Each structure stands twice: as C-alpha cells, then as structure tokens.
Amino acid sequence: MSHTAEWKVRLYFFEEEGTTKARVVLDTGTTSLTGQGAAHCKPGDTDVPEIGDELAAGRALHDLGRQLLDTAGRDVVAMDPSAAKRESPPAVGWPV
C-alpha cells in the first residue's frame, strides 16, 4: 500500500534578556505538536545570535522528536496491547 503525506513545520524564535527561545510547531493536518527549546548566553560570552538560534532550534526539534516517538509508541500499544510488554532497547545510551 502506497502512502504519501505532507506535514508542515514552522519554527519561531524569540529573544529576551540573553536567552533565545525557539518554538517548533508541527501540523500534520489532523493533529498539531509543539516543541520548545532555549539557549542562554552567559554574561562573558560573545553574543553570536546564530549560535543561540541553532541551539534553541535543535533543542526544540529534539523535544518535538521525543513527542513524536512517544505518540507513535502509544499508537503502537493501542493497536497491539501486547507491545507494551515487550521491552525495546533505548535509542541511544546504555540500557537502564
């Protein structure tokens, strides 16, 4: 079965008092998820807005990715309740 979809992602930046905040909004057409991220400039650091944008955006996208994986996990369990009993290895790092 073939499947095609288009999801829209919008990334917003806000700057206030040495902190860059990013918000990423994913619109799938049927649902919406929002990720948040921030980057802080230390008082002695050189102010390079592009670096703050990159860090804040990366953190917002990481937050959004975690939400997508959590949503997919819940959807899988809803389709197959026995999937909740199976243990999957962590995506990164060492097993706990």
Q: What is the pLDDT, as a whole number, of residue 95? A: 55
Ordered by where they begin, the domains of the chain are 8-80 (3.30.160.240)
Alpha-carbon distances, residue 16 vs 13, 28, 49, 72 (angstroms): 10, 30, 12, 34
Return the higher-pLDDT residue of 95 and 23.
23
Full-prediction pTM beyond 0.75?
Answer: yes
Instruction: For residue 26, give the 3-state DSSP assignment.
Output: strand
The Cα–Cα gap between 73 and 28 comes to: 17
pLDDT of residue 53: 96
Tens of pLDDT, residue by residue over 35-83, are: 999 999 888 888 888 999 999 999 999 999 999 999 999 998 888 877 6
- pLDDT score recorded for residue 92: 66
- Hey, how many other C-beta atoms are within 10 angstroms of the C-beta on 87? 6
pLDDT of residue 91: 64
Q: How far is CA 58 from CA 2, 16, 29, 47, in A?
A: 31, 18, 23, 18
What burial letters (b/e) apply to 3-39, b meaning 16+ CB within 10 Å? eeeeeeeebeeeeeeeebbbbbebeeeeeebebebeb
